[in-house]
Amino acid sequence: MTTVGYFEGTDPSLLSKISANGFCTVPLANEWDSHGKIASHLEPGEVHLIIGYLHKLMPPKGTPKTTIEKTMPVSADVYRGLRPIDLLYPAKVYGIPVLVVIPKEFHKKAKDALEEAAEFVTIVEPEHLEKKVREILGF
C-alpha cells in the first residue's frame, strides 16, 4: 500500500484527505526531535512520498561542543554538523519524492539551506501542496 511519510506540522486536513483516498500516512522525525520514525532510517518501500516544512529538515548548525558521552536526554549539540542530506539520504537512494514546503519568496534561500539535498527534493508553496500531492499520488 502506498504510504506518505510526513513531518510534524503537515496540514492535518491534507493528511485526512490522503487517508480518505486509501493511502496510509506515517509520522516521520528528524533525529533531534523524535516525533515519529526517523527519516534517515527508512528502508525501501516503507514510504512512497515525504512531506515536510523546511525547518524540520534543518539540523542544528555548527559542530558539537564536546565529544563527551551524554546521558539521556541527548542535547541538540549531538546533531550539530549534520546536513539535510544526512536526514534525506534514504529518499535520494530509494527514489522517494520529497516535498519541502515553504512560501515562494523563500525558495532560493531554501535551496541554499538544503545544499545538496536541493538537487532531488521539490520545493513547493503551502498553497500548492495539495495539488502537488494529488499529482504524485494520482487522486
Tens of pLDDT, residues 33-53: 777 899 999 999 999 999 999
**What mean pLDDT is reported for the chain?**
89
Half-sphere exposure of 49 (CA within 13 A, CB side): 23
To the question of domain 3-137 being in CATH 3.40.50, the answer is yes
Domain boundaries, the chain: 3-137
Cα–Cα distance, 73 to 34 (Å, whole number): 11
Cα–Cα distance, 75 to 28 (Å, whole number): 20
pLDDT at 60: 77
Degrees (nearest 5) of the Cα angle 88, 59, 65?
Answer: 135
Confidence check: pLDDT of 75 > 70: no
pLDDT at 35: 77
Q: What is the pTM of this model?
A: 0.87
Please list the residues that pair with 124 across neighbouring strands.
101
Residue of 80, 92, 79, 83 whose CA lies nearest to 121: 92
pLDDT at 71: 45
